[in-house]
Amino acid sequence: MSDVYAEPTTAAGPTDPATLARYTTLRLGGPAGRLEIATDADEIVRKVREAEAREEAVLVLAGGSNVVIGDQGFPGTVVLVRSRGFRVVAEEGDTVTVRVAAGEPWDDLVAATVERGWSGLECLSGIPGSAGATPIQNVGAYGQEVAETIVAVEAYDRTHHEVVRMAAADCGFSYRGSIFKYSDRWVVLSVDFRLTRSPLSGPVRYAELARALGVEVGDRVPLADARATVRRLRAGKGMVLDAADPDTWSVGSFFTNPVLEREAYELLRERAADLGEPPHWPGAGDVVKVSAAWLIDKAGFGKGYAGPEGVAISGKHTLALTNRSGAASTAALVALAREIRDGVHARFGVPLHPEPVLINCTI
């Protein structure tokens, strides 16, 4: 999907071009000290270097779909990444390696790969933001993660002042994380994905998706069917951006699913004995991933739960915190996030951690 909120919003929303709320899917964020637009990799590097020469802090912002910016904004230079395009850089056997500009809208890329019969990204359909953000977050959904198809990331190293191409093994990919997240050292310029030439999806791993498709877990389906079904499921949860639907004015999932050691999971089971078995999935080693949405709901924060100034949990999914009024403050959203985090910990003893990057704000 394109940068929906990069254009002027309604009268109820921000109108100042330097107000960062215009460039985030939450429609939140104060002013930028300086706002620059970069349309290719060379320009991105140049804009960053110029800001450094002025001894200004730098924030690189693309789709704005996984960031929460404080009401005070960002006092330095904000570089808006607007690079576009992708090209095939290698073909081997039944695989094709595609190099994608950091600013390419992610869902547009997924649509293009499905249309060309390239398998590997289809279950990541409908996710807002840019291609360059996907390795930062190790974006994943419905049984796929970008770490499975990324072979290299081109980035500007602000420490050594050089452009480098990093192999996937050097990116430190983990559950919703990488070496790029929470670090301003690296500026992603492009990403290489190795995809498979096939009219069929990869094996369907996610039970909800398999049920929606009417197949068994492990089956393959036509790429277009996988994409359409994922988008339908995401839309039903308010996870596909829609300028007309305030339930989608969010960063998607606000909290990650907790990953617990076995002992911590058994303690959770004891505290939740009256509620039945918490939804969970086995992780690597002796760890268990638990549903954050379930924890939030069972702690008393259901769909539509309202906070101050019109912020609220989405009416479609308990993991999405929304600026439903379109006129709230970041402080109000953060207050709601804190209330939920503290309530879950008090009820279950499980810590929740935010998934988006927080800029000049904290929970």
Contact predicate 326/273, CB 8 Å: no
Contact predicate 132/103, CB 8 Å: yes
Torsion of CA 362, 291, 175, 139, to 10 degrees: -80
Give the other-Cβ count within 10 Å of 94's Cβ: 10
> What's the CA gap between 275 and 271, in Å, rounded?
9
176 among known catalytic residues: yes
> What's the CA gap between 31 and 229, in Å, rounded?
38
Of the residues 27, 99, 176, 324, only one is catalytic, namely 176
**Local structure of residue 258 (DSSP, 8 states):** P
Give the other-Cβ count within 10 Å of 8's Cβ: 12
Quick one: 130 exposed, middle or buried, by C-beta within 10 A (0-12, 13-18, 19+)? buried
DSSP E strand boundaries for 12-135: 32-38, 58-61, 67-69, 74-81, 86-92, 95-101, 118-119
Q: E strand or H helix at 155, and its extent?
A: strand 150-157
Torsions phi, psi for 4 (to 5 deg) = -55, -40
> What's the CA gap between 286 and 283, in Å, rounded?
7
**Local structure of residue 202 (DSSP, 8 states):** S
253 among known catalytic residues: yes
- Reference 101, options 191, 2, 186, 166; nearest CA is 191
Of the residues 125, 178, 253, 329, only one is catalytic, namely 253
Quick one: 56 exposed, middle or buried, by C-beta within 10 A (0-12, 13-18, 19+)? middle
Quick one: 12 exposed, middle or buried, by C-beta within 10 A (0-12, 13-18, 19+)? exposed
* Residues with catalytic function: 176, 253, 355
